[in-house]
């Protein structure tokens, strides 16, 4: 069984990719979340580090939250891979990317330089089918941010379920997994979890390009 680490944003895609990798026989020795240099928020979805920590405590996999420098992200990423190769003997990293080739090109370059396998359990999946697969597997999540030019504030807090998917389909021009950044999610229960995450939703916050939902 190959040992691997899985990148963890707190959202449905990275969570489901980790789950699929485990089903495929990988031994996930750690899930890793990257925080900003100030140790306040997760880089990927803007969730607070405390919320991600609480989420990870409900997942039966060791967790690392790694603050990343404002500059030299690539160097810090490669150093982290090297430390896991040396200390844990990992052979791969699990990513939740679906079809953005620019992202995958960067990952492929870093993995090649680090001499490690990039693992993409949901790469090139049809997102209209993938979102249904995530729901059917039992993962429960809500929308925690939306891009203002794609979705309105009212979508914040929506549960990712069949009704949500149907409503998105009616809009016609939104990726059903939000792969182009139209929306981001927070997973609070599912097959990887030993118990649901206890959380509350707070105020809606307007940013330059996004609406955010406070999670506490």
pTM: 0.95
Per-residue pLDDT of the chain (216 residues; tens, 9 = 90+): 799 999 999 999 999 999 999 999 999 999 999 999 887 889 877 789 999 999 999 998 999 999 999 889 999 999 999 999 999 999 999 999 999 999 999 999 999 999 999 999 999 999 999 999 999 999 999 999 999 999 999 999 999 999 999 999 999 899 999 999 999 999 999 999 999 999 999 999 999 999 999 998
What residues form DSSP beta bridges with 93? 5, 118
Order of all β-strands in the sheet with 3-7: 63-67, 27-35, 3-7, 92-94, 117-119
- Chain centroid to CA 25: 20
Q: Buried b / exposed e across 1-38, counting CB within 10 Å, b at 16+?
A: eebbbbbbbbbbbbbbbbbbbbeeebebbbbbbbbeee
């Amino acid at each position: 069984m190959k040992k691997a680490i899985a990148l963890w944003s707190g959202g449905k895609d990275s969570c489901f990719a980790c789950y699929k990798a485990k089903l495929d026989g990988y031994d996930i020795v750690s899930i890793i979340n990257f925080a900003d240099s100030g140790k306040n928020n997760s880089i990927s979805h803007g969730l607070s580090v405390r919320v991600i920590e609480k989420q990870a405590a409900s997942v039966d996999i060791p967790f690392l939250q790694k603050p990343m420098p404002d500059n030299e992200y690539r160097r810090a990423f490669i150093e982290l891979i090297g430390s896991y190769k040396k200390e844990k003997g990992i052979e791969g990293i699990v990513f939740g990317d679906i079809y953005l080739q620019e992202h995958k090109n960067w990952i492929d370059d870093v993995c090649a330089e680090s001499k490690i396998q990039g693992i993409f359990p949901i790469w090139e999946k049809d997102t209209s089918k993938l979102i249904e697969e995530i729901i059917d597997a039992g993962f429960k999540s809500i929308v925690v941010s939306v891009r203002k030019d794609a979705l309105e504030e009212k979508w914040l807090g929506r549960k990712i379920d069949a009704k949500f998917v149907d409503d998105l389909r009616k809009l016609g021009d939104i990726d059903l997994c939000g792969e182009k950044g139209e929306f981001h999610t927070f997973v609070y229960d599912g097959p990887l979890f030993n118990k649901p995450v206890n959380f509350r939703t707070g105020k809606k916050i307007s940013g330059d390009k996004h609406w955010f939902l406070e999670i506490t």
